[in-house]
Amino acid sequence: MVDVGAKAITQREAVAVGTVQMASETLDRILAAGAAKGDVLGVARLAGIMGAKRTADLIPLCHPIGLNQVTVEFLPVPGPLPLLWIRATARCDGRTGVEMEAMTAVSVAALTVYDMCKAADRGMTLSGVQLWRKTGGKSGVWQREGDLPGGQWI
């Protein structure tokens, strides 16, 4: 592991996003809480938070971090190619960033959506997991260019 002992403790935040493309009927079922396995978004939110907390156990050489907060939100985008956007925000006061925790949260939440809906829609596609923004540390603020889709995140 990289030695971060000499680095200053700063407030750090990372936001990551990703999508799950699915059939219209699948998105409708998720939003109506009608999936056979139960509350897809609630379970995926919890799974994403749990994944963020276990990042150092999953990613070799990743530092264990005392997270202050992790949030996981969803933005359904109906249409000809329905998408479920997933956004995770991770925060800590630490010597190293929380980018991996935010991206792990998105990935685990997306995998949970797939697992809970695969009986109805095996053609779902998970994609685009990426860091959107990070703050804190020596390098300061980094922001990906462009905008996230508008709408009500839930």
Please list the active-site residues.
115
Strand residue runs (E) in 22-152: 67-77, 83-94, 125-135, 142-143
Alpha carbons 52 and 89: distance in angstroms, whole number:
10
Q: Name every residue whose Cβ is closer than 8 Å to that of residue 134 and which is 6 or more positions away in sequence.
A: 12, 13, 14, 15, 97, 98, 99, 141, 142
Q: Which two tokens stand for residue 109?
A: 């939440």
- Other Cβ atoms within 10 Å of 119 Cβ, number: 10
